[in-house]
Amino acid sequence: MANQTINTQSAGYQQRLQELREIKAFYGPKLRAYLDLRDQDMKRVWRQADPILRELLDLARRVNEFGGKGID
């Protein structure tokens, strides 16, 4: 296991944590709407038009590929 030290009290960490919470609150309903779409063409158009959606989907894909190994 790598030796990793994270200062969760640093200003930068706290700022990113707050930004992540804001993204979740803002994008949660939009992501749900995207996932509920059955029309694959509409999903593709949405992905092409929305960089944040693409990044979130990429992050989710990578986590799923990881399979949760080592995640508490």
Condensed to tens digits (0 to 9), the pLDDT of residues 24-60 reads 999 999 999 999 999 999 999 999 999 999 999 999 8
* Residue 66 forms part of a structural domain: yes
Question: Are residues 47 and 54 in contact, defined by beta-carbon separation less than 8 angstroms?
Answer: yes
Distance, CA of 68 to CA of 23 (rounded, Å)? 22
| pLDDT at res. 66 | 78
* Residue 65 forms part of a structural domain: yes
How many domains in the chain? Answer: 1
Q: How confident is the model at residue 67 (pLDDT cuts 50, 70, 90)?
A: confident
* Residue 13 forms part of a structural domain: no
Write out the residue range of the structural domain in which residue 67 sits: 29-72
* Residue 9 forms part of a structural domain: no
